[in-house]
Amino acid sequence: MIDYCMSILTSCLLFLWLNCYEFH
Please name the amino acid found at residue 6.
M
Find the helix or strand (DSSP H, E) in which 14 lies. Answer: helix 2-23
Upper half-sphere CA count for residue 5 (Cβ side, 13 Å) = 2
pLDDT of residue 12: 96
Per residue in 1-24, pLDDT (tens digit) is 789 999 999 999 999 999 988 776
DSSP state of 12: H
